[in-house]
Structure 1
Amino acid sequence: MSVLGFTDIVNGPLAQYLDFSIKIGGDVAEHSKLVRDAFNAQLQYIQLARDSAQPRQNEIINFLKPTSDKISAIQDYREKHRSSPLFNHLSAISESIPALGWVTVSPAPAPYVKEMNDAGQFYTNRVLKEWKEKDKKHVDWVKAWIQTLSDLQTFVKQHHTTGLVWAGAAVVKGVPPPPPGCPPPPPVIDFSDVGGAGDAGLDRSALFAEINKGQDITKGLKKVTDDMQTHKNPTLRQGPAPFKPTIQKSVASVKSTQIDKPPSFVRDGKKWLIEYQKGNQNLLVENAEMNNVVYLFKCQNSTVTVKGKINSITLDSCKKTSVVFDSLVSAIEFINCQSVQMQVLGKVPTISIDKTDGCQVYLSNDSLDVEIISSKSSEMNVLIPKSDGDYTEIPVPEQFKTKITDKKTLSTEIVENKG
């Protein structure tokens, strides 16, 4: 089923993406051939996992090499064609194609696929903005690629929830062995010792004799007296305490155990992963490159400083956390956060705030053309620098009023809070 599910992606949205790439032509068409080869290499790897036991680590690296080589070729093609008029198309694919690396991620590879899909969103938005009014096939191209990675995320979540499953029984030493045959029949259960020795335990005569008693079969039952009936004896209704509070306590303890994880600060290729930091005000990201991303997850009462210009920053489920950075190529995102702050010293094109309560945005003079996108959020304030070095604080609207116009369309306006 796993192989069939991945084949559906190849024959479905990926095939549509390849078709639109050919229609667009040029560098996009050439680039798509490498993408096709990368997916075919991953299909072969999944087929190998279906038929084989998990090999040793050095063998896994060899088996993954065809896929990793294609991913590198896709990204190298983008770097060698920076002057291409379709550079945004090439960048959208190059930034998100590492999603195929989910086979090396555990225990939850599906969120990794989504993260890579989101990494290419900055460039897919550029493609849509540039070509939406010019040529529809570019819009269809974007939709097909995003759908490809969305289906890949669903596939991974359904078939490989905790990581790639190696289902075979033979050790891999090159060519995968054939799938295993039918399982052996279950063992025969020996009833000779049930109920006594020999055939006495299986003697059914006593059972039929009891059944044939007819109405006399109930003579041996114990009668219920008045003092044994709950509606006549209220003291019997006082049973043990309900079990529900115990369940609630167990759930709470499990949640606290899951949240309380050791802090980490690691660099994984292009990613800087900062997780579960508490009360750390001296977190520093330096020597980062322009294509790097910084991802903060469940940090509390901490401050992160990012030196240099990087691609993007994401704060996910953070509380009372601040980030100070120089410049970004793409965007900074706040997701499921509480009481967070950001300050840009250089330039940031986009700020995204989603499901966040309390967000202070300190801008620089170079970032006054920023686009702020907010949804399902509250207590958002933008602080604009003044000539004397102070800031002017302006709240982002949270409440809106929508009416139906005479032309049966919607008209939405901001509801100002005048206190």
Structure 2
Amino acid sequence: MAETHGLMERLEKAVTRLESLFSDPHRAGMECDAINGVNGSIAPYVEAFDRLLNGSVAEFLRQSKILEGDVKTHAEMVRAAFQAQRSFLVLASQCQEPQEGPVASPMSIRSVLTSGSCLSPPPPPPGPPPIFDTETGKDEGTASRSALFAQLNQGEAITKGLRHVSDDQKTHKNPSLRAQCPPVRSPTKSHTPSPTSPKNSPQQSHAPVLELEGKKWRVEYQEDKNDLVINNTELKQVAYIFKCNKSTLQIKGKINSITIDNCKKFGLVFDNVVGIVEVINSRDIQIQVMGKVPTISINKTEGCHIYLSEESLDCEIVSAKSSEMNILIPQDGDYKEFPVPEQFKTAWDGSKLVTEPAEIVG
């Protein structure tokens, strides 16, 4: 904080010195007006600087005063720096350019403001003296500085050496140039295609499977097969049916459980299941029960028709996130279809929530 106040005092002193130069008619008026014959008019670049002061700079100072604390302190430093810059510009517009010796660049204060270095510690002490050429006796360091200050002292003429760029050479005004530039990729995102992306990975074909693996019957990747049959089942065995499309499977005997996963337009006929029959992530499934099954679960499935037998009328149907489900009950030698509710309503009865199917009106 002490360093910050020290820099503030230096800026205020610089402003005071520049203002005192203009307040002294013998020092400012005689030296400047006599040289250039100035009639008191303000230079165009001073007017432009005043517009900057009265616009965004004034708004910045006003907002900074509201925030108080270090922000207000920093704003006072900015104000002093801008005042010093304006005094320098006015002096430069009224006086002849110096022939010798270094002159502070108008960009010095601007660079201080834009880089935020006004809050940094003061610069370190100067280094060792410049190296002299023992043969010529010339100070190489002084010569380099003189060349630098000669460029800075050009003022507005320093931009005369810049090459003019026409609109057809500007990327933002020439679409053909933008098309030639490679796209800029964000460093925070990876553009490597995902190996699991369906657009980048070719469709893989799998060999159909129907085999007993330990206690599990595997029925996988069957396409357009309507004569699939599993015989010689045992009570401890389970069946797992995966990605079978446009096919029909018959399971004879008694089995522990059956799972249908990711199948489309698939038909299943079985005799008896002592556990559960599950349908997951499938579409257009038809199941016919010839004997008994205690529970049938339907999850994330669109279209599932279940034909129950006389022996399996006590079966419980559990469904979630599914649609177009129908249970067909045998009646008078035929089947009568009953839709499974997909919409429910829930109400508080004073002690608990009560949920029941919602009646579809219309």
Relative to its length, the structure with more helix (as a share) is 1
> Which entry has the higher C-alpha Rg, 1 or 2?
2
Name the structure where strand makes up a greater proportion of residues: 2
Instruction: Choose between structure 1 and 2 for higher RCO, CA contacts under 8 A separated by at least 6 residues.
Output: 1
Q: TM-score, normalised by structure 1?
A: 0.43
